Amino acid sequence: MNKIMYLEFERCIGCRACQAACRECGDHDAKERNYVEYVDFTESRQTYPMLCMQCKDPACARVCPANAIQITDEGVVLSAMEEKCIGCRNCTFGCPFGIPKFDFEENKMYKCDMCYDRSKHDIAPMCASVCPSDAIRFIDFDEMQQLRRRRSQMNLVEGKKPQEGNKWEYVPEFFGVYTD
Amino acid sequence: MSDFIAKEGIQNLHKPGEKLITTHCCYCGMQCGMHIRVNKSSGKVVGVEPRYDWPVTNGKMCPKGVTAYQTIDHQDRITKPLIKKNGEFVESSWKEALDLIEKNFKRLQEESGKDALSVFGGVSMTNEKCYLVGKYARVGLGTRYLDYNGRFCMSSAAGGFIQTFGVDRGSTLPWTELEHSDCFFLAGSNTAECHPTSIQWFWKAKDKGAKLIVADPRETPTARVADVHLDLKPGTDSALANGMLHLIIKEGYVDKEYVSKRCNNFEELKQNVDKFTPEYTSEITGVAVEKLIKAAHIYGMSPRSVVMFARGVEQQSKGVDNVRLYSSMALLRGQVGKFASGVATFTGQGNGQGGREHGQKSDLLPGYRKLTDPAAVEYISSIWGIDPSEMPKPGVSAYEMFGEIEKGNIRGMHVICSNPAVSAPNLEHIWNGFKKLDFLVVSDFFLSETASFADVVLPATTWAEDEGTTTNIEGRVIRIRKVTDPIGESKPDWEILSLIAERMGKGKHFLYNEAGEIFDEFRLATKGGKADYYGITWDRIDRENGVFWPCPAEDHPGTPTMFEESFYTEDGKANLGVVGWKEAGEVPTKDYPLFLTTGRVVFHYLSGNQTRRVDFLMEQCPEPFAEMHPALASRYQLEDGDMVKLKTPRSHMTVKTKITKAIRKDTVFVPYHWGKELAVNQLTSDCLDPISRMPEFKVCALQMEKLPAKKEGITRE
């Protein structure tokens, strides 16, 4: 898999189809793992989607005392393994994006796994499949680069580009998983 | 014929033990392609899979579409006929229900004549069913009183298109061409919420530099990304359109050759729009002069442009005029009948296009034939096997049927696939009508607000339990597939109609074993009509990704682009709209100083009878709200979430306040998907368009009052 989840916030229409679709993924227990937020509803209807960044060195996995959060060969950061998760919620505190969710009834963490049962076959995750405005896309690395070059001038933070060291300060625009 | 259709190279996730069945969504006119996941051993519907290779929507779906399958095997489904006994619904057998219907229908017709019965149809069902509703009313029951919920949805667009182009096809171009357009002028359409999957086409074009102009009193998710947002006062579209026409002429953007060759009335139009200077237009519409000028230049300079509109301009007492004027913008620019340009309306209901062509309207017969045309009556009578003299005369429009009930002319009604107890305007009048009826039959798969008034409720199937076709937003005829067997004892509408017709002694006209037979009859019925489906077959639809009507023969390719050579008017020329400015039916006064406008939210569909039963959608939007600007809210001391009483000359209701700057300061917006005390249609105006008989849902005068906050003491257990 050499695909990128590419987000373009401006396109988001706030329909939450991505969330409805997330529940439809076979391995998701009908619980969504992604987020759609208003920037500030009083000012405008601008919304934006938030998904797991599938970090290369994920804070959630690092802080897990039980080693329950596995990373696949492709780089997908999975939900905590049921048999290992001790329900400490460290991952939810550790993630800088507030992504992992916690099921208090089952006492376990769950999160976006890029619909691993789909994406491992190169089939787009449900959120990216249905997003009506292409605010969420599942595209080839090359296509991402092409789009990135075109978008660079219209970046949300004008004249600046997020660096690896400070990208948390910026609203991220794309992320993905890479096989080395 | 295979149930699963995918092009080569397209990957879908096939789960073990499941099969995919290829169909389309049941909701809006986009008719998004989807595969439904069915468990092979139990036959139960278990989920949805994107249909990546459907050319109009590319696998995309809105939250309603993603969850649509959940309505199929839903716990609220009516699975047996219900008969009201002592005010309570009691489950009964089909025989008992049909006996009761036969007895009452015959009694009413014996006492008060054939026209004592009426049929209220809907267009969220297949062409086969819509066609049969017309035949059922006219042949099965023999009544003139037949109309449908398209009167609340598409009829102004239909009226405007017929006057302008001579035929009513919702889009003059296939939407797969939209990405090549340079400019979109969207009037009264919040397409991002109401037809979400259409937005991909606007973005595809925008990515190549296309411009977007949106006219809407609210800064909707559609207007938010527009290059120019014309934030007009509700009900001032005809002034705005005339203002745009004025500027197009003044700035020299008219395609003179096209207009002189293909359009009538140019001189009259020129004279008519002369006074609509930007200043005058701005005074009426409240839109800044600079915005009008900027919009006109962008629109006028674009080599390929599409004018599109929706309920915002159509649900007005001048709906037809608005459609004519906006269509004229495209005609002046010479855009209609060419590649990636033209005029389109956003069809609200799933089969809003097909359903209005096949004779559910009070004055129409299948194939868009007129009931007042003796040749049409003769032809359809021959298909139906009746004598032309037996064909009932035209009746009245949907809303006006309730006037006939009040007068005592209509005493019985059969409501099919519709929920006018939520979706009609001035609801108290509608509710009183339902109460006054001697006998009401409702076919539905959920107990709607309308069904709760019924004497008999017949369990219909959902879209996924029957075969058939619909006609999407573009005029493309597409295939709906049976995914599962009917739930419980429910039956498809065509079967229900045939059963009642048989009881009324007309069984020989309704000998159908399956929907395909109805399709074949209805192809023949449309043959030679304006909406000619004769050449369309279910096989062709699968092979060709749908077929665009008119398609008069099986070797005819269909007509994706309309009006390439000439228009359907008598002289083959389009009629430019020459219409002055008129106030809306109701304007703000001292006592009612604000505008109330209504519309949809992305999470619900029409009267909400389906979407209000889907958990995900209700979690997102459980109740209506009054959306207003903070400047307006502070005048009434309202804060976000406060309860506010909304009052119009008809009625009042109480809802929560929702505050955003993304709306005009003089306008309050309330979505209409809820019933009873939560129905904003209690408040809406019943002022009708003189031609389309479309009620003015989009404009009424409003009084607002802050309610004292309820004292909510903290109680500790």
Question: Cβ-count burial of B208 within 10 angstroms (0-12 exposed, 13-18 middle, 19+ buried)?
Answer: exposed
Reported as a pLDDT band with limits 50, 70 and 90, residue B716 is low
- Contact status of A129 with chain B (Cβ, < 8 Å): yes
Q: Examine residue B589 and state whether it is found in any structural domain, yes or no.
A: no
Percent of chain B clearing pLDDT 90 (strictly above): 98
Is the same domain home to B314 and B243? yes
3 state SS of A67: coil
Q: Which residue of B has its CA nearest to A42?
A: B660
Q: Which residue of A has its CA nearest to B604?
A: A15
Please indicate whether residue B560 or residue B708 has the higher confidence score (pLDDT). Answer: B560
For residue A180, pLDDT beyond 90 = no
- Closest chain A C-alpha to B193 CA, distance in angstroms: 7
pLDDT in tens, B249-283: 999 999 999 999 999 999 999 999 999 999 999 99
Number of domains in chain B: 4
Query: Is the pLDDT score of A155 beyond 60?
Result: no
Closest Cα in chain A, distance from residue B46 (Å): 9
Residue B553 lies in a domain: no
What are the backbone angles phi and psi of residue B473, rounded to the nearest 5°? -55, -30
Cβ contact, residue pair A42, B220, below 8 Å: no
Residues B655-706: pLDDT tens digits? 999 999 999 999 999 999 999 999 999 999 999 999 999 999 999 999 999 9
Q: What is the pTM of this model?
A: 0.94
The mean of the pLDDT values for chain A is: 85
Q: Which of B63, B219, B659 sits opposite A17 (nearest CB)?
A: B63
Nearest by CB to residue A20, choosing from B50, B66, B193, is B66
Nearest CA among B222, B198, B197, B200 for reference residue B212: B222
Q: What's chain A's Rg over C-alpha atoms? A: 16
Q: What angle do CA B612, B65, B679 make, to 5 degrees?
A: 25
In a domain, B433, yes or no: yes
Q: Which residue has the higher pLDDT, A29 or B18?
A: B18
B230 and B316 both lie in a single domain:
yes
CA distance B200 to chain A (A): 5
- Chain B CA closest to residue A130: B60
In a domain, B514, yes or no: yes
Tell me whether B460 touches chain A (CB under 8 Å).
no
Say if the Cβ atoms of B199 and A13 lie within 8 Å: yes
Q: How far is CA B232 from CA B219, B335, B445, B495, in A?
A: 11, 25, 40, 47
Report the residue from A17, A41, A126 with minimal CB separation from B196. A17
- Kindly state whether A140 is in contact with chain B, defined as any CB-CB distance less than 8 angstroms: no
Instruction: Clarify whether residues B279 and B377 are in a common domain.
Output: no
Distance, in Å, from the CA atom of B339 to the CA atom of B305, rounded to the nearest integer, reads 10
Decide if A21 touches B, using CB distance below 8 A.
Answer: yes
In tens, the pLDDT along A81-97 reads 999 999 999 999 999 99
d(CA B460, CA B458): 6
Give A121→chain B minimum CA distance, Å.
8
Check if the beta carbon of residue B684 is closer than 8 Å to that of residue B667: no
pLDDT tens for B62-86 read: 999 999 999 999 999 999 999 999 9
Residues B394 and B313 in one domain: no
A66: distance to nearest CA of chain B, Å?
Answer: 32
pLDDT of residue B500: 98
- Residues B235, B133, single domain; the answer is no
- The answer on B277 and B195 residing in a single domain is yes
Q: Does any CB of chain A come closer than 8 Å to the CB of residue B600?
A: no
Residue A16 to residue B603, Cβ atoms within 8 A: yes
Instruction: Establish, for the pair of chains A and B, how many residue pairs have beta carbons separated by less than 8 Å.
Output: 108
Residue A118, chain B, CB below 8 Å: the answer is yes
Check whether A174 has a pLDDT greater than 70: no
**In a shared domain, residues B332 and B357:** no
Residue B518 has what pLDDT? 97
pLDDT at A146: 80
Same domain, B103 and B248: no
pLDDT average, residue stretch B610-637: 97
Q: Tell whether B450 and B540 lie within a shared domain.
A: yes
> In the prediction, which pLDDT does A73 show?
92
**Tens digit of pLDDT for each residue in B388-444?**
999 999 999 999 999 999 999 999 999 999 999 999 999 999 999 999 999 999 999
B239: containing domain: 155-345
From chain A, pick out residues whose CB is under 8 angstroms from the CB of B620. Answer: 16
Task: Output the domain CATH number for residue B42.
Answer: 3.30.200.210
Residue A178 confidence (pLDDT) = 47
Do the chains contact at B60 and A45, CB–CB below 8 Å? Answer: no
Inter-CA distances, B12 with A143, B173, B445, B457, B651, Å = 21, 30, 31, 40, 51
pLDDT at B715: 56
Domain assignment present for residue B530? The answer is yes
Q: What is the pLDDT of residue B710?
A: 67
Tell me the CATH number at B219: 3.40.228.10
**Is some CB atom of chain A closer than 8 A to the CB atom of B631?**
no
Q: What angle do CA B418, B531, B147 make, to 5 degrees?
A: 25
- Indicate whether B402 and B509 sit together in one domain: yes
Which residues of chain A are within 8 Å of residue B11 when distances are taken between CB atoms?
121-123
Average pLDDT, stretch A12-19?
97
CATH number at residue B139: 3.40.50.740
Is B587 inside any structural domain? no
Question: What does the pLDDT read at residue B714?
Answer: 57
Q: Say whether B336 sits in a helix, a strand or coil.
A: coil
B372-400 per-position pLDDT tens digit: 999 999 999 999 999 999 999 999 999 99
Side-chain half-sphere CA neighbours of B208 within 13 A: 12
Same domain, B422 and B485: yes
Instruction: For residue A46, list chain B residues with Cβ-Cβ distance below 8 A.
Output: 224
With cut-offs at 50, 70 and 90, classify the pLDDT of residue A157: very low
CB-nearest partner of B224 from A17, A20, A45: A45
* Ordered DSSP codes for B646-714: EE-SS-EEEEEEEE-SSB-TTEEEEE----GGG-GGGTS--PBPTTT--B-TT-EEEEEEEPPPP----
Residue A172 has pLDDT above 90, yes or no: no
Residue of chain A with shortest Cα separation from B36: A24
Share of chain A above pLDDT 90, in %: 67
Domains of chain A (ranges plus CATH)? 1-51+126-180 (no CATH), 54-111 (3.30.70.20)
Residue ending a domain, choose from B318, B345, B372? B345
Rounded to the nearest integer, the mean pLDDT of chain B is: 96
Tokens standing for B385?
């096997």
Flag if B200 and A134 touch (Cβ within 8 Å): yes
Chain A residue whose CA is closest to B201: A133
> What is the C-alpha separation between B659 and B641, in angstroms, rounded?
8
Interface residue B199 vs chain A (CB under 8 A): yes
Tokens of A87: 């329900």
Tens digits of residue pLDDT in B581-604 = 999 999 999 999 999 999 999 999
pLDDT over 60 (residue A175): no
B345-371 tens-digit pLDDT? 999 999 999 999 999 999 999 999 999
B451: confidence class by pLDDT, cuts 50, 70, 90: very high
Task: Assess if residue B10 is contained within a domain.
Answer: no
Judged by a CB distance cut-off of 8 A, whether residue B225 touches chain A is yes
The pLDDT confidence band at residue A154, using thresholds 50, 70 and 90, is: very low
Nearest residue, CB atoms, B221 vs list A14, A20, A123: A14
Residue B142 and residue B57 in one domain: no
B563 assigned to some structural domain? no
